[in-house]
Structure 1
């Protein structure tokens, strides 16, 4: 009888250990996320002065009072809640300036959403004013369907939308609502 009892006890213990062993899974990433709420950024940077260079030449300078890093989300992004100023330099070192009250950069889609008093000034003093403007980094394309004001060589165009490449060589005000010419 003692042998049978030990045999059953050994089988039960073995079964439990095997069940526990196979029920364990690798949940290291879940454990890492436990201390971080998905609603909170994983990083905060203040007083940003980021200089991007390529082959020793300055290509862009990004200034912002605050950046929030939400790379921990399923759809990761960087948020600039207090706005940005971005100086972009071309191959001839001519500067274009982008200013916005708020910006968000979606990492996976490479789409930048600029909002609030958006102003882009080119090296030739062409200036675009909009309340919202999108920039597709993959195609280097600017667009919006919101009201815009575009100043080009003394002419002012008003419309409900804008399309252009990043060089403004084919800038188009959509749904033109008015134009005027400024006196020199």
Structure 2
């Protein structure tokens, strides 16, 4: 009878040792991060943020930067452009960074882009948005709805221009 009771207890008290992770919470949280994106041994981008939430447990994994970021983008000549935003999401599978809230991009040539959202495609080295922007370049302040550019700003274009102001130097 003792053996039967012990066997019943053994089989009725199964313990599941697999941890359950909710898909609504991050699998990890990192603070004071400094991520570098390299290609062929050269740093192409450097992302700095006070806090990162890691959602790599999702089917489409991403990292969320709820306290903003500073992103340095380096061209082939190692010239540095700087992007600052209040919030960002980096999608691991696509290499796309979605920058949101008070986005400011300052190039090494002192061109500056202001907007509420900007996408940076790490693989194509391309910046774009379909949101309203202000672009300061060569003494002009250009307002428009949308922006496309390579990271060198050699192909920078404000889309749907709705105003150009020439600044006095």
Q: Output the TM-score relative to the length of structure 1.
A: 0.76
Q: State yes or no: 1:135 paired with 2:142.
A: no
Count of residues in Structure 1 that have an aligned counterpart in Structure 2 = 154
Q: Which one has a bigger Cα radius of gyration?
A: 1
Partner Cα distance (2:110, 2:17) in 1: 49
**Structure 1 residues 100 and 56: CA distance shift in structure 2, 3 A:** same
| Residue in structure 1 matched with residue 97 of structure 2 by the alignment | 112
Partner Cα distance (1:121, 1:181) in 2: 19
Which of 74, 78, 93 lines up with 2:63 in the alignment?
A: 78
Q: State yes or no: 1:158 paired with 2:158.
A: no
Summarize deviations over 1:103-160 as a string: whole Å, max 9, x none.
0011122221100011111100011111011122232221111100001111110001
More contact order relative to length (CA 8 Å, sep ≥ 6): 2
Q: Is the 8 A contact 2:75 2:151 kept in 1?
A: no
Task: Report deviation, 1:89.
Answer: 2.9
Tell me whether 75-84 or 44-53 shows the greater mean CA deviation. Answer: 44-53
Unpaired runs of 5+ in structure 2?
A: 1-15
Which of 61, 75, 91 lines up with 1:90 in the alignment?
A: 75
Partner Cα distance (2:17, 2:56) in 1: 14
Structure with greater strand percent: 2
Q: Output the TM-score relative to the length of structure 2.
A: 0.82
Partner Cα distance (1:87, 1:55) in 2: 18
**Structure 1 residues 45 and 122: CA distance shift in structure 2, 3 A:** same
Summarize deviations over 1:10-62 as a string: whole Å, max 9, x none.
xxxxxxxxxxxxxxxxxxxxx78742111111111001133556677654432
Q: Is the 8 A contact 2:30 2:52 kept in 1?
A: yes
Cα RMSD of the aligned pairs, angstroms, is 2.1
| Residue in structure 2 matched with residue 43 of structure 1 by the alignment | 28
Q: Is the 8 A contact 2:48 2:70 kept in 1?
A: yes
Partner Cα distance (2:43, 2:161) in 1: 37
Partner Cα distance (1:32, 1:167) in 2: 52
**Structure 1 residues 152 and 92: CA distance shift in structure 2, 3 A:** same
Q: Secondary structure at the match of 1:37?
A: coil
